[in-house]
Amino acid sequence: MTPGQHDRPAPGPDQPATGESVGAAFARVVVPGALYGLDLATHVVALLLGAHTLATVTQALLMPLLAAVLLGASTRPLARITRWALAALALSWLGDVLPSTVRGDADDLRFLLMVGPFLLAQTTYVTAFWPDRRRVRPLTVAGYAVALAVLVGVCAPHAGTMLVPVLVYGAMLTAMAVLSTGLGRLAGLGGAVFFVSDGLIALGRFAGHPAGTAGSVAVMATYGVGQALLVAGVLHRAGDMWAAPRSKHLPRPSGAVPGATASGGVAERGGEL
């Protein structure tokens, strides 16, 4: 038995501990995960080739595929953090698809239809990550505060009437990135990459760099990777939450040291921190 293996919930009636469950897990997690990676790669290629219809379709598929991965890999009943993360993915999907419904020269409206749902998505992520706020390090808060100040300083002179929405969104984006570090390295990296992605959007719109195809590719590549890392971090943290209540009901081998794993190591909650 490997460290942490005894902490996973026992298979229920619908989760037989046989080779069949391995095949089911493959279908639930690996298949949508592979499709997500393929869809993101196809989207990037579509952007490079200027295939706008393909780019629109593949962008609309990103969050549903990622939600399928999260659902497929999650233990039932769903943990609180998992439910909030699913809501954040749904709101992110709205931010992906609503701007494409606007026709003609209406860039401001298109921008607001993107920022609005993503503001709600960031707020939802903040709600999901809030219980782990005490794990956030002060140095992380200071670093993101500096990054936000620099970003606002560059964009504010060119934001015009969009300044207030940009400031509100920037504050919530930063809060999400900061709080994501409380879940562990995976989620923290995801929050950082997501921060970079949205920062590139702001710089491209208000400062003019990056622009064009290169800017779109950079934004979407970092967005796709950032969201995937956040989902991986949520799954890791949800696993920790399942382990804690189960471990206290399991008998300890004679002579075992409290907190020791079967391999002699010491079990850690949120060991990635």
Quickly state the pLDDT bin for 107 (edges 50, 70, 90): confident
Is residue 154 predicted with pLDDT exceeding 60? yes
Phi, psi of 166 (to 5 degrees): -65, -40
How much is the pLDDT for 94? 98
Q: Which one-letter DSSP state was computed for residue 266?
A: B
Mean of pLDDT over the chain: 85
Q: Are 144 and 199 in contact (CB under 8 A)?
A: no
DSSP codes of every residue in 186-224 = HHHHHHHHHHHHHHHHHIIIII--S-HHHHHHHHHHHHH
Q: Where is average pLDDT lowest: 80-89, 98-107, 143-152?
A: 98-107
Is residue 265 predicted with pLDDT exceeding 50? no
Rounded Cα–Cα distance for residues 49 and 40 (Å) = 14
* pTM for this entry: 0.81
Phi, psi of 114 (to 5 degrees): -85, -45
Chain centre to alpha carbon of residue 98: 20
Rounded Cα–Cα distance for residues 125 and 262 (Å) = 35
Q: Map tokens 């930063």 to a residue.
A: 174
Is residue 26 predicted with pLDDT exceeding 50? yes
Q: Which one-letter DSSP state was computed for residue 250?
A: S
Quickly state the pLDDT bin for 270 (edges 50, 70, 90): very low
How much is the pLDDT for 17? 42
Q: Where is average pLDDT lowest: 133-142, 159-168, 244-253?
A: 244-253
Report the pLDDT averaged over residues 30-51: 97
Higher pLDDT among residues 131 and 75, named by residue: 131
Rounded Cα–Cα distance for residues 99 and 147 (Å) = 27
Closest CA to 88 of 207, 217, 187: 187
Is residue 259 predicted with pLDDT exceeding 70? no
Tens digit of pLDDT for each residue in 211-229?
Answer: 899 999 999 999 999 999 9
How much is the pLDDT for 257? 43
Rounded Cα–Cα distance for residues 134 and 111 (Å) = 34
How much is the pLDDT for 241? 73
Bridge partners (DSSP) listed for residue 260 = 266
Question: Residue 34's CB: how many other CB atoms inside 10 A?
Answer: 12
Rounded Cα–Cα distance for residues 22 and 29 (Å) = 10
Is residue 248 predicted with pLDDT exceeding 60? no
Quickly state the pLDDT bin for 167 (edges 50, 70, 90): very high
How much is the pLDDT for 186? 96
